[in-house]
Amino acid sequence: MFSPAADRPVGHVCRQPIIGIDASRANRPLRTGVEWYAFHVIQELKKVVPPSFRVVLYSAEPLRDGLENLPPNWESRVLKWPPRRLWTQLRLAWETLARPTDLLFIPVHALPLLGRTRVVNTLHDVAFMPFPQTYGPLERLYQIFITWFAVRRAVKILTNTEFTKKELIERFGAAAGKIAVTPLGFDQALCRPAEPDALQSVLERYNIRQPYFIFLGRLEAKKNLSGLLRAFRSYAEKGGAGDLVLVGKRGYGYEKEHRSLDDMPADIRKRVMETGYACEDDMRFLLSGATALVFPSWYEGFGIPVIEAFACGTPVICSGTTALPEVAGDAALYADPNQPEEFAEQMRHVTTEAGLREGLIAKGRERVRQYSWEKTAAMTWDELKRLLRGSCG
């Protein structure tokens, strides 16, 4: 919060500054990582934006799941768009042309193609550049264009890690001073170790038996699903105990990645199960009951499942590449995503080495203290209000 400028001319009339926020992705009923980011940042911004500012939430449908509960200085504006596609680029663009705000924040996805409003955009990663094979050709071209456009159009870019900041500078020529790093958080109300009785009830509902390793995220090529399945096969063939539980929706390249499961011996294949999308209420139980989270992703701009596992008291085995070492520090075991056998070996270590699992849990609990949605929102608000400095408020 900042006070009126001391040198404001006598008789100057203050106008309440207006911040627009694209809430369309936050408002989706089945959210994944970046959509949860948008949801939680909006919810936390409600607590820190002072009444001297107005905030408008734009969405294609009426707000839900608590987003509709607005402070007095906030309003919801539902922008109908029957074509459905290109809502942000065209429908939101028209709205900001017709009724511009002082600042527009796009936490997920593309910027409007036209508009008179200054824009802040969060760019979460550029995986489509180093790993083009994990995207469809048209999707990759689209991602390249919207990132290139954002780097040039936005007055400020937010990103989740120093790694992604460096990627944007090197691959898209972004100016370093234009980028602010605002690390992600986790839902502290949900992500915590589960109570034994409740845990058992949830596992029974999903037909999951302990011990098991868990993967959490979209089941797609970018997440290296085939490498995970090969790692589990190697682990199981050498006598490793337990199952592998895959939690998440199917994504691009799933069918090709899934062939590694079809090639497994029947006795190992039956130890792999998919739950599909799991609601947030169940997530902490599925994580808490696992021997470890195995996360062999080719590329991550952050990796929310890693800190969620830390918060639930679950060890993490993840790729030692991209942003994951920056996020996890010394609290995880690392392996090369190109080497499934390295992941299999780490899985064996966590199940056989005395004290290793307990040590990882303790380190994870310490590491996760660095992250919260409150901190993310506070840092985000700091960047937004810097751009509004000089406005009345």
- Give the phi and the psi of residue 210 in degrees, each rounded to 5: -90, 150
Going residue by residue through the chain (393 aa), what tens digit of pLDDT does each one get?
333 333 334 444 457 899 999 999 999 988 888 999 999 999 999 999 999 999 999 999 999 999 999 999 999 999 998 887 889 888 999 999 999 999 999 999 889 888 778 999 999 999 999 989 888 899 999 999 999 999 999 999 999 999 999 999 999 999 999 999 999 998 887 778 888 888 999 999 999 999 999 999 988 888 999 999 999 999 999 999 999 999 988 888 888 888 888 788 999 999 999 998 888 788 889 999 999 999 999 999 999 999 999 999 999 999 999 999 999 999 999 999 999 999 999 999 999 998 999 999 999 999 999 999 999 999 999 999 999 985 554
Give the Cα separation of 232 and 380 in Å (integer).
40
Alpha helix locations (H) across 191-337? 196-206, 225-237, 254-257, 259-262, 266-269, 280-288, 304-311, 324-328
| Domain limits, the chain | 18-185+373-387, 196-370
Q: Do domains 18-185+373-387 and 196-370 have the same CATH topology?
A: yes
Quick one: pLDDT at residue 14? 58
CB 264 within 8 A of CB 233: yes
Cis geometry, peptide bond prior to residue 211 (ω within 30 degrees of 0): yes
CB 89 within 8 A of CB 52: no
Quick one: pLDDT at residue 13? 47
pTM: 0.89
CATH of domain 18-185+373-387: 3.40.50.2000
CATH of domain 196-370: 3.40.50.2000
